[in-house]
Amino acid sequence: MSFKTIFPILFFLASSVFGIDFQKDSVVVIVSVEGFENDEGVCRLLLFENEKGFPDSREDAKLFFGGSIKNKKAEFSFKLFPGNYAISVLHDENMNGEMDKNWLGIPKEGFGASNNLKIGFGPPGFREAIVILDEKNTRIKIKMNYM
């Protein structure tokens, strides 16, 4: 049997044995990203449960998505358990998987974070970007920043 065959069986067994209703306990989250300078490249979204790796480590993120940009906007929809999370986005114009910076370390590509934090020196902090995602708060709007 392949992993694709075994995984749904294990998922069903785990939910039956432990009484977890993944459909009931999870919420649908919609993240709208606006203010792109153009439609080139992709929008990369990272969702974090804690500050480790925030805002740019794919390895430390709970979720990672890449999506197309249309009319200078991108939208993501996904399910997860309610809780406190922080979201970061990157306009990866050249699709190299990382934020490009100039020789001074200033970002050459657009970026953003949940709570639309003010641009300062250095990346946004996890604590300032935390949003509570639950049944009442499942829509997040993020505005892109360009230096």
> What are the pLDDT digits (tens) for 57-72?
999 999 999 999 999 9
Confidence tier at 3 by pLDDT (50, 70, 90) = very low
- Please give the pLDDT value at position 81: 96
Q: Are 86 and 114 in contact (CB under 8 A)?
A: yes
Provide CB contacts within 8 A for 60, sequence distance 6+. 48, 52, 53, 54
- Please give the pLDDT value at position 136: 80
Q: Give the separation between CA 98 and CA 73, rounded to whole angstroms.
A: 19
Summarize pLDDT for 12-68 with one digit per residue, the tens.
545 445 444 555 689 999 999 999 999 999 999 999 999 999 999 999 999 999 999
Q: Are 42 and 69 in contact (CB under 8 A)?
A: yes
Q: What is the pTM of this model?
A: 0.81
* Identity of the residue numbered 132: I
Candidate from 62-66, 77-81, 134-138 with smallest mean pLDDT: 134-138
Which architecture does CATH list for 25-143? Sandwich (2.60)
Q: Give the separation between CA 106 and CA 62, rounded to whole angstroms.
A: 26
Q: Give the separation between CA 111 and CA 99, rounded to whole angstroms.
A: 8
Confidence tier at 102 by pLDDT (50, 70, 90) = very high
Q: Give the separation between CA 72 and CA 35, rounded to whole angstroms.
A: 6
Number of H helices, E strands in the chain: 3, 8
